[in-house]
Amino acid sequence: MDSFIEDKVWLGFDLSTQQLKSIAINENLEVVCEASVQFDSDLPEFRTTGGVHRHEDNQTATAPVLMWVKALELILDRLRVNGLDFSQVVGISGSGQQHGSVYWKRGARAVLQSLQGGKFLHEQLSQCFALGESPIWMDSSTSRECRQLEAHLGGAQHLAEVTGSRAYERFTASQIAKIAHTKAEVYSSTERISLVSSFLASLFIGDYAPIDLSDGSGMNLLDIKEKRWSSECLQFCGTELEAKLGSEVVPSSQVIGPLSEYFVERYGFHKDCYVVAFTGDNPASLAGMCLGPNDVAISLGTSDTAFLSLSTPKPALDGHIFCNPINEEHFMGLICFKNGSLTRERIRNTCADASWDIFNQLLESTPRGAFGNIGFYLDLPEIYPVVSGDFRYNRFDNEVTSFAAEVEIRACVESQFLRLRIHAENLGFKRSNSTRVLATGGASANHSIIAVLADVFNAPVYTYSIPNSAVLGSALLAKYAKEKETTSYYDMVLKLNANFKLVTKPSPDAGEIYDSLAERYRKLEDKLESKANGD
C-alpha cells in the first residue's frame, strides 16, 4: 500500500505539559527530522506557566485548548523549515499528557469535517469548544467526586479491579463528573469529550478520533479487562456519557483514518497518509523504550516512577494498570512515588557534605543491606505509606533515632528502590532471568546509585540513549500499525538495540540479601501506613 512513497518517514507527536514535540523516523528507525514548540515562550499570548494555568484555589489546573491548536500549526511550519518533506510521510501517530480532557461544542464535528485549506486551524476551530480551558493531569480539585465514584462502585478496590486504578483526582472520570455536576450547561452543550491524545488525533483526521485503550485506562471509566466502557462508571459521571466519549475504544496501534484533506492541501502531505490512534505519554514511552515482558523501566527524577509490562496484572490501591499499547494481550503497570531526587539530595547534604563524590564513596563502602538496617525518608507524605518524616529500624525491626552517616545513605537509596520493587510486585511484576531494568532520569547517571538498583531488583541495569521516549514511541507505533499482521513489535524495533547500554549487573548475593530485606520492608511499611490511619 505504501509503495507510492520513496524514502518513507513516519511522524510522531507528543503533546506534553510544557511543549509539543515531533520527530520523523525512517525505515531504519533513525530520527531524520525533529521540532518542538514551547508553550510559554512560543505562544506567550496564552500566558501559561509551564504550559498550565493554575487557578486561585490552588487545586484547579487547566490549559487553553486553542494554545494546543496553534502549537500544532507552529510545529508543522518548523518541521518544514527543518527540512521535512511532508509528501514522504506515510503514517502519523502521537501521544499526549494523560488524563486531560477536551470538551467539543455541539456542531464542532461538522467544522472538523469541512476544514478549509486556505485558513488557519485555530481560526476555524475558535468557536468549537464548550470549555476553552481543558482540565489537565495537575488538577486536584475533584476529591469529592473521587470518593463518590468509589462509593458508587462499592469501594476503591472494586473500582481498581474494573478500571485498573482507584479514583484519582487527575483521572478523567472525576473531572467529567465535576463538570456534569457543577456546570450543567457546559456538559449539555458538549458534543464530544476527547482526551488530550484523541483531541490531537481528531485534528489530523478531521473528525472525532476514538480514544485508545491505553490512554483510556487513565480515566477510571474503562473496564480494562473487557476493553469497553464500564456502564457503572459512566452512569456515575453524567447522562449520555457513552455517546459523548464515542462508544468505540480502539487498540493503540489501530489505523483510525486517512489524514484530513486540510493537511494535504495546506501542507502538501500525501493523500494516502494514514493516522494511527494517539495514546497517552506514558504508554507511548513504554513503546519508545521497547519494554519487553518482565522488564521494568525506572525513571529517577523529582519523583521516582516505574513502568512495567505485565502479563497478569493485579490491580492495587497504590498503582495503575493500563492496557499495553504494544501487546494487546498484556497490560502495563505504572507507579509513581513523590520522594525521589530531592530526598536523595537532602541526605547527601546532611550526611555527605553536599557532595555526590562523598555520598558515592560512603554508599559503596557500606555493605549491601546496610547491616540489616532499614530507613524510610519521606519529605512529602508518600503515596504509600501516606506519612511524612524519617523512620529508622535496626536489624531487629526496632525503631531507632539515628544511623551513622554511611548507613543513612545506603538505607535511603535501598529503601527508595525496595519501595519501587515491592509496589511493582503488588501490581503483578515478576522478576525473571531475562528481566532488564532500564534506568532513565537524572540519577541514572550516578553509577553508585545504579549499582544498588541492580542489586535490589537482582537484574542488570541498562540505560537507553533516546532523549524523549514518548515521541519516539509514537513514531514507532505509526510504523507498527501497518506491520503488526506480519511482525511483532519487538522484531520491528530490534534495530534500536544498539541504543541500550549495559551499565551494571547485580552482585551474586543480591537475591539472597534483598529478598529477605524486601519482606521486612513490606511489613514495616504496612505498619507505618496503619499507624497513619490510626489503626
Least Cβ distance, residue 8 to ligand XUL (angstroms)? 29
| Beta-bridge partners for 464 | 500
Under rule CB under 6 A, residue 458 binds ligand XUL:
no
From 176-184, 279-287, 433-441, 451-459, span contacting ligand XUL (CB under 6 A): 279-287
Interhelix angle 65-81/196-205, nearest 10 degrees: 60
Least Cβ distance, residue 158 to ligand XUL (angstroms)? 21
Under rule CB under 6 A, residue 97 binds ligand XUL:
yes
Least Cβ distance, residue 175 to ligand XUL (angstroms)? 12
Which is it for strands 89-96 and 9-15: parallel, antiparallel or unpaired?
Answer: parallel
Under rule CB under 6 A, residue 48 binds ligand XUL:
no
**Cβ atoms of residues 15 and 71 within 8 Å:** yes
Cis peptide before 385 (omega within 30 of 0): yes
Under rule CB under 6 A, residue 14 binds ligand XUL:
no
Between 218 and 325, whose beta carbon lies closer to ligand XUL? 218
**Cβ atoms of residues 281 and 16 within 8 Å:** yes
Least Cβ distance, residue 100 to ligand XUL (angstroms)? 8
Q: Where are the beta strands (DSSP E) in 277-363?
A: 279-280, 296-300, 304-310, 320-323, 331-337
Least Cβ distance, residue 499 to ligand XUL (angstroms)? 23
Between 230 and 282, whose beta carbon lies closer to ligand XUL? 282
Distance CA(504)–CA(495), nearest Å, equals: 22
Between 189 and 303, whose beta carbon lies closer to ligand XUL? 303
State the binding string over 120-159 for ligand XUL (x if CB under 6 A, else -).
Answer: -----------------x----------------------
Between 415 and 474, whose beta carbon lies closer to ligand XUL? 474
**Cβ atoms of residues 457 and 424 within 8 Å:** no
Phi, psi (deg, nearest 5) at residue 245:
-90, -20
Which is it for strands 304-310 and 89-96: parallel, antiparallel or unpaired?
Answer: unpaired
Interhelix angle 281-288/469-480, nearest 10 degrees: 80
State the number of binding residues for ligand XUL (CB under 6 A): 11
Least Cβ distance, residue 162 to ligand XUL (angstroms)? 18
Under rule CB under 6 A, residue 170 binds ligand XUL:
yes
Distance CA(426)–CA(315), nearest Å, equals: 8
From 76-84, 276-284, 359-367, 504-512, span contacting ligand XUL (CB under 6 A): 276-284
Under rule CB under 6 A, residue 163 binds ligand XUL:
no
Q: How many CB atoms lie within 10 A of CB 249?
A: 24
From 256-264, 268-276, 280-288, 384-392, span contacting ligand XUL (CB under 6 A): 280-288
Residue with cell 506491520: 483
Residues 282-311 within binding reach of ligand XUL (CB under 6 A)? 282
Least Cβ distance, residue 306 to ligand XUL (angstroms)? 12
| Beta-bridge partners for 440 | 299
Between 140 and 148, whose beta carbon lies closer to ligand XUL? 140
Least Cβ distance, residue 192 to ligand XUL (angstroms)? 21
**Cβ atoms of residues 303 and 338 within 8 Å:** yes
- What cell numbers appear for 215 in the block? 490512554
From 22-30, 75-83, 277-285, 323-331, span contacting ligand XUL (CB under 6 A): 277-285
Least Cβ distance, residue 386 to ligand XUL (angstroms)? 18
Least Cβ distance, residue 333 to ligand XUL (angstroms)? 12
Which of 98, 327, 415, 426 is close enough to bind ligand XUL by CB under 6 A?
98
Under rule CB under 6 A, residue 166 binds ligand XUL:
no
119 burial (CB, 10 Å; 0-12 / 13-18 / 19+) is exposed
Under rule CB under 6 A, residue 17 binds ligand XUL:
yes
From 91-99, 139-147, 221-229, 381-389, span contacting ligand XUL (CB under 6 A): 91-99
**Smallest Cα–Cα separation from 377: which of 525, 523, 522?**
525
Phi, psi (deg, nearest 5) at residue 29:
65, 25
Least Cβ distance, residue 268 to ligand XUL (angstroms)? 31
Which of 10, 12, 13, 16 is close enough to bind ligand XUL by CB under 6 A?
16
Residue with cell 507507579: 335
From 64-72, 96-104, 173-181, 236-244, span contacting ligand XUL (CB under 6 A): 96-104
Whole-angstrom CA distances from 206 to 43, 124, 270, 341 are 24, 12, 15, 43
Under rule CB under 6 A, residue 93 binds ligand XUL:
no
From 110-118, 275-283, 346-354, 369-377, span contacting ligand XUL (CB under 6 A): 275-283
274 burial (CB, 10 Å; 0-12 / 13-18 / 19+) is buried
Phi, psi (deg, nearest 5) at residue 371:
60, 25
**Smallest Cα–Cα separation from 350: which of 414, 404, 389?**
404
What DSSP designation does 260 have? P
Least Cβ distance, residue 468 to ligand XUL (angstroms)? 12
**Smallest Cα–Cα separation from 200: which of 63, 404, 365?**
63
Between 217 and 294, whose beta carbon lies closer to ligand XUL? 217
Under rule CB under 6 A, residue 214 binds ligand XUL:
no
Site residues (vs ligand XUL, CB under 6 A): 16-17, 97-99, 137, 170, 218, 280-282
